[in-house]
Chains A and B, each alone.
Chain A
Amino acid sequence: GEDVEQSLFLSVREGDSSVINCTYTDSSSTYLYWYKQEPGAGLQLLTYIFSNMDMKQDQRLTVLLNKKDKHLSLRIADTQTGDSAIYFCAESTGGGNKLTFGTGTQLKVEL
């Protein structure tokens, strides 16, 4: 079945860039997503990318997709303390099919 892996923890200093990585196994993935979960809250969709794209930029967020290696990354520029949260990548094959979530990466931003 599908498998989506992330590293568990990332610590960065305020103002630095953060890069959160994700690998997936389903080669038929159509869409890939990044969600953010703040403490005690539900998940919030940050951005998503269609599988025929290599890169998508949205303000401080840059998503890179390497479809050949099945690798997805989220870069957060000028990381702020408010970016401290758990970040989940997810993939789907579209058409009403279920999302498969990664294991989540806890991002801690230190002053």
Chain B
Amino acid sequence: EADIYQTPRYLVIGTGKKITLECSQTMGHDKMYWYQQDPGMELHLIHYSYGVNSTEKGDLSSESTVSRIRTEHFPLTLESARPSHTSQYLCASSDLTADNEKLFFGSGTQLSVL
């Protein structure tokens, strides 16, 4: 079944650790996104990609980085996690050839940095 997957579901780590949040989709979508969702519910776009080897910064500045080596995979990396990075991270994908922007979301990764 075509879907979008995020791992881990929950992550608790100490300050200064390097982490990678995984996102994979089996829908054949070209476009992928990372959103950061704060406790106040608002979504902030931090990275997106139009396809392989394409990465763009979103509306909210982020210390994280992303890569897109394969169509189905869009990992997000924090080189040195800090408590200010504590948040829910949501990955999404969409069909670039469609004339609308229907996004399909993963279940999210809840990151807590101590």
Chain A interface residues toward B at CB < 8 A: 8, 30-31, 33, 35, 40-45, 48, 50, 86, 88, 90, 92, 94-99, 101, 103-104, 106
Contacts and interface: CB of A to CB of B under 8 A. Distances in A.
Interface string B97-114: 001111111111010000
Contact of A41 (B42, B99, B108): B108
A48 B102 contact: yes
Interface residues of B, number: 22
B45 A98 contact: yes
B96 interface: yes
Interface of B: 6, 31, 41-43, 45, 48, 50, 90, 92, 96, 99-108, 110
B105 A97 contact: no
B45 to A, nearest CB: 7
Contact of B41 (A45, A95, A98, A106): A106
